[in-house]
């Protein structure tokens, strides 16, 4: 069977399978067709029955030479492996005998001190419009490090504040693990301002619902209910991402801002306080692991990888903080 026919038959089989989206099928088939075009110029007339590990290796190396990203190349190898399986070469699949391209893991991207200050100023400028929602949100993530899903799940009872201390309780962490994170003053003050307005929001919902002869929604209640509310109900993960992205734009950051970057910034400031102008000792990895809710300390260790800016600072180069 010629290569084009093999791919067309495989595409039909993929389309009939459940669990694969149309977009995924198109990616697989696109990878296969690009390989077919290359193979016909490399070894005209070849079929999948003739394919050797050397052919696959040559194709991988050609993609590397063309500057394709490791993720793109490795996805192509996965696609070709599935194609060969379908063509009856499961037991001697030549693709399975070719190594994937190693992907160099990039250091997590944290905001610099100046970038974070710009984001905070952008949030402060929205206080009169959103009643401290944006400021409380970004300061909580920056100074306590919850995941975006954990933020969206927070209830009022999960934040305990007093004049001198505070605690964030994550009851629905990854792996359904509970943890507590101390809240420093930089997180407490914006949260307290937001909570003052959040109480008034609950009163407005109660009055509105009473006028209609209805019960106020549970998520809008006080002292129970969701912590962060949007215009139509509890703030969703998408809503959290949108607010953070808007603040990044307002701060004129070079790259789009995500909640994950704020979480990275929280961890990075703990491990390298000097980079943020803090006169204190670096936190230990086990301590940061506990605060972030990582089950594997190797995940936490990823935050210790130095970025180019870190290396320059360590070598004595002037930085934006000097």
What is the DSSP code string of 248-285? HHHTT-SS---HHHHHHHHHHHHH-GGGGT--SPPPPH
- Backbone phi and psi for residue 233, each to the nearest 5 degrees, phi listed first: 160, -160
Task: Say which of 226, 263, 264, 313 is annotated catalytic.
Answer: 263
Quick one: 192 exposed, middle or buried, by C-beta within 10 A (0-12, 13-18, 19+)? middle
Percent of residues in the chain assigned helix, strand, coil, to nearest 5: 60, 5, 35
Closest CA to 193 of 131, 114, 279, 260: 131
Name residue, tokens 């389309």: 15
Q: Which residues, 6+ apart, have CB-to-CB distance to 249 below 8 Å?
A: 256, 257
Candidates 28, 59, 143, 303; catalytic one = 303
Which position among 75, 89, 131, 260 bears the catalytic label?
A: 260
179-182/159-161 β-pairing? unpaired
263 assigned to active site: yes
- State how far the Cα of 28 lies from the Cα of 50, in Å rounded to an integer: 21
Q: How far apart are CA 198 and CA 203, in angstroms?
A: 9
Q: What b/e readout covers 102-129, taking b as 16+ CB neighbours within 10 angstroms?
A: eeeeebbebbbbebbebbbebbeebbee
Q: Which of 33, 89, 96, 174 is catalytic?
A: 174
Query: At which residue do the structure tokens 């009851």 appear?
Result: 171
DSSP 156: G
Give bridge partners of residue 195 from the DSSP assignment.
Answer: none
Residue 233 in tokens: 């109900």
- 260 belongs to the catalytic site: yes
The answer to whether residue 174 is catalytic is yes
Q: Could you say which of 60, 120, 142, 147 is catalytic?
A: 147
CB 168 within 8 A of CB 263: no
Which residues participate in catalysis according to the annotation?
147, 174, 260, 263, 294, 303
């Amino acid at each position: 069977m010629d290569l084009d026919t093999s791919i067309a038959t495989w595409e039909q089989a993929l389309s009939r399978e459940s669990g694969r989206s149309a977009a995924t099928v198109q990616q697989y088939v696109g990878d296969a067709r690009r390989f077919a075009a290359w193979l016909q110029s490399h070894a005209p007339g070849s079929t999948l029955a003739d394919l050797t590990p050397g052919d696959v290796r040559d194709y991988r190396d050609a993609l590397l030479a063309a500057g394709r990203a490791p993720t793109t190349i490795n996805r192509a190898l996965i696609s070709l492996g599935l194609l060969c399986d379908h063509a009856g070469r499961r037991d001697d699949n030549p693709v399975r005998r070719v190594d994937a391209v190693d992907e160099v893991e990039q250091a997590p991207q944290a905001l610099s001190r100046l970038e974070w200050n710009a984001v905070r100023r952008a949030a402060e400028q929205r206080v009169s419009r959103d009643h401290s929602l944006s400021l409380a949100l970004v300061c909580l993530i920056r100074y306590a490090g919850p995941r975006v899903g954990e933020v969206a799940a927070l209830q009022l009872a999960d934040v305990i504040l007093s004049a001198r201390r505070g605690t964030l309780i994550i009851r629905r962490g990854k792996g359904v693990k509970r943890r507590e994170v101390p809240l420093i003053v930089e997180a407490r003050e914006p949260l307290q301002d937001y909570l003052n307005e959040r109480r008034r929001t609950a009163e407005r919902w109660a009055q509105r619902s009473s006028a209609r002869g209805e019960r106020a929604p549970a998520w809008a209640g006080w002292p129970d209910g969701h912590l962060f509310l949007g215009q139509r109900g509890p703030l969703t993960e998408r809503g959290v991402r949108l607010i953070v992205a808007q603040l990044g734009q307002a701060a004129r950051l070079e790259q789009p801002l995500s909640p994950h970057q704020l979480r990275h910034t929280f961890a990075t400031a703990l491990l390298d306080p000097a980079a943020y102008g803090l006169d204190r000792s670096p936190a230990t990895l086990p301590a940061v692991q506990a605060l972030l809710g990582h089950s594997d300390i190797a995940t936490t260790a990823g935050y210790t990888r130095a970025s180019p800016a870190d290396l320059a600072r360590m070598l004595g180069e002037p930085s934006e903080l000097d």
